[in-house]
């Protein structure tokens, strides 16, 4: 049998303490970063208040962190477990119009409604079609946007894409069942 020296005992104790000090909150953020949905779900169940009110070192909630890490499945689990974030619908319209697909993904992860309508009945998909942002339009459709939503004039996103001569966007909308 081998006897450990005092130095080795101290090292072993420090390692044990460090591993024990890894909090559930730290584990949650690591699980989010890795996309480990099972661990995210388990830790969210263990401490539902943390997913609602907890913050990382940069002041982000677990849901904001998941959105920033583009871990959309983790964000979905967190929302299902009670995490929420108030997304101003005007922000998503502005972001879609600007063509910032990364920010659009972030808003969707935070819970933005892809079928939100403004006072004129425009949806984010209308905005993407209007600007010819094909990739953004495709993302919105993949996340549940209604392809044939009509604004107050009865115009669909496909109508907008054709009217403003965005053939790639129009073709993609047709492939997803878009009608004028």
**23 phi-psi bin (left φ>0, alpha ψ -120 to 50, beta other):** beta
pLDDT at 7 over 70: no
Instruction: Give the residue carrying structure tokens 């072993």.
Output: 12
Pair of tokens at residue 1 = 């049998």
Pair of tokens at residue 70 = 């583009």
- Whether the CB-CB separation of 118 and 89 falls below 8 Å is answered with yes
Taking the complete model, does pTM exceed 0.75, yes or no?
no
Best CATH choice for the domain 22-80 from the list 1.20.120, 1.25.40, 1.10.260, 1.10.3470: 1.25.40
Q: Does domain 89-175 have CATH number 1.10.10.60?
A: no
The whole-angstrom separation of Cα 178 and Cα 159 is: 9
pLDDT one-digit tens code per residue, 13-57: 444 444 444 588 889 999 999 999 999 999 989 888 888 888 888
Per-residue pLDDT, 8: 57
| 144 vs 8: which has the higher pLDDT | 144
- How close are the terminal C-alpha atoms of the chain, in Å? 82
Identify which of 112, 153, 107, 110 has the alpha carbon closest to the alpha carbon of residue 130. Answer: 153
Residues 6 or more apart in contact with residue 29 via CB below 8 angstroms: 56, 62, 65
Measured in residues, the chain has a length of: 180
């Amino acid at each position: 049998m081998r006897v450990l020296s005092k130095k080795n005992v101290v090292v072993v104790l420090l390692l044990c303490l460090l591993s024990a000090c890894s909090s559930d909150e730290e584990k949650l953020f690591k699980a989010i970063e890795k996309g480990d949905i099972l661990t995210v779900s388990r830790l969210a169940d263990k401490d539902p208040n943390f997913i609602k009110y907890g913050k990382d070192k940069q002041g982000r909630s677990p849901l904001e962190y998941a959105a920033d890490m583009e871990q959309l499945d983790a964000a979905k689990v967190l929302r299902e477990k009670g995490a929420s974030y108030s997304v101003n619908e005007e922000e998503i319209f502005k972001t879609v119009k600007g063509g910032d697909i990364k920010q659009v993904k972030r808003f969707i992860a935070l819970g933005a409604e892809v079928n939100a309508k403004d006072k004129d009945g425009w949806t984010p998909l209308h905005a993407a079609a209007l600007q010819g942002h094909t990739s953004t339009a495709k993302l919105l459709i993949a996340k549940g946007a209604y392809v044939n939503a009509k604004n107050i004039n009865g115009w669909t996103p496909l109508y907008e894409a054709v009217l403003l001569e965005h053939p790639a966007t129009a073709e993609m909308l047709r492939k997803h069942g878009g009608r004028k």
